[in-house]
Amino acid sequence: MLPASVTRVAPSFFNIRGSFKIAGLLDVKTQASLVRLGSGDYVLLDSCDLDEPTARFIEEETSGGDKLKAIIHVHPFHTVYARRVHERFPGATLFGTRRHQHEQGQLPWADEATETEAFQRHYADDFGFSVPGGVHFIPDDEKLHFASVLVFHPNSQTLHVDDTLNFARLPGPVKWFIPEITRFHPTLSKVLREEKGAVQSYRAWAEQLIERCRPIRNLCTAHTHHLLDVDVEREVRRAYDKTRSVLDRHEAKHG
């Protein structure tokens, strides 16, 4: 039996939900995903709060950690659990964004940052990657968590994404009217580059993302919930449609 925090999305893909509390009260959850590669080895996408049953599950699934070859961090501002998970699985190569490398320089990060093509070529046989266009990937304002490296896993028809896309089931009476919602992170308007062509670049990226989601059936997002066995292309298109007024205003101002 799987631990309560683990969902088997597909035979080769496990999504893990960890606790993450705001102000010590509101638990918005966060995620990691354990993925079996075509070689039979494993990688962990992101780090989160691993309780003991979940950590033991990862160890058992990866032959005591020997088959866990890498821990891959894809959101520049998701850094809280990087050290803890590395210490639990020190044999796995540690990949992160440039911000991970800068902010936690004491950890043994691999040279290639996850937002670069140099890193992404390492895993091209198993994953596809997408970095939002037209936005600041690492903005100066650390509250703006829009951008991340989106990870496609074609074998399981799954998209793993932190913050850039969000999915939530709404609580209480609201759910009778709007039971669930998929949207782009609400900080989009603040991370778009203030320059001519930024919106065109973002639109091109978003339209390509929608196209790439055509075969995708599972959406694993960092906070609250995941969305399984659905038309992810449709969900992402709806989310994109909700951003059009933001994009139009930015384009009218900056070109």
If you average pLDDT over residues 245-254, what whole number do you get? 96
For residue 7, which of 228, 231, 232 has the smallest C-alpha distance?
Answer: 228
**The CATH number, out of the four listed (3.60.15.10, 3.30.360.10, 3.50.50.60, 3.30.2130.10), of the domain defined by the range 6-254:** 3.60.15.10
Could you tell me the residue ranges of all domains in the chain?
A: 6-254
| Phi, psi at 203, each rounded to 5° | -60, -40
For residue 167, what is the enclosing H or E element? strand 165-169
The whole-number pLDDT of residue 177 equals: 39
Structure tokens at 138: 């690492």
**pLDDT for the residue 255:** 86
pLDDT over 90 (residue 195): yes
Mean pLDDT score, 135-150: 95
For 14-59, the pLDDT digits (tens) are 999 987 656 556 555 789 999 999 999 999 999 999 999 999 999 9
Reported pTM: 0.93
Q: Which of 211, 191, 192 is nearest to 201 (CA)?
A: 192
For residue 212, how far is the Cα from the chain centroid? 16
Going by pLDDT thresholds of 50, 70 and 90, the confidence category of residue 88 is: very high
Q: CA dist 224 to 171, 213, 218, 228, Å?
A: 11, 21, 15, 14
pLDDT for residue 250 is more than 90: yes
pLDDT of residue 169: 56
Task: Give the model's confidence band at 153: pLDDT under 50 very low, under 70 low, under 90 confident, else very high.
Answer: very high
- 201 token code pair: 């670049």
Report, as an integer, the average pLDDT of 174-189: 68
Stretch 70-81: mean pLDDT = 96
- The confidence score (pLDDT) of residue 1 equals 87
pLDDT of residue 25: 61
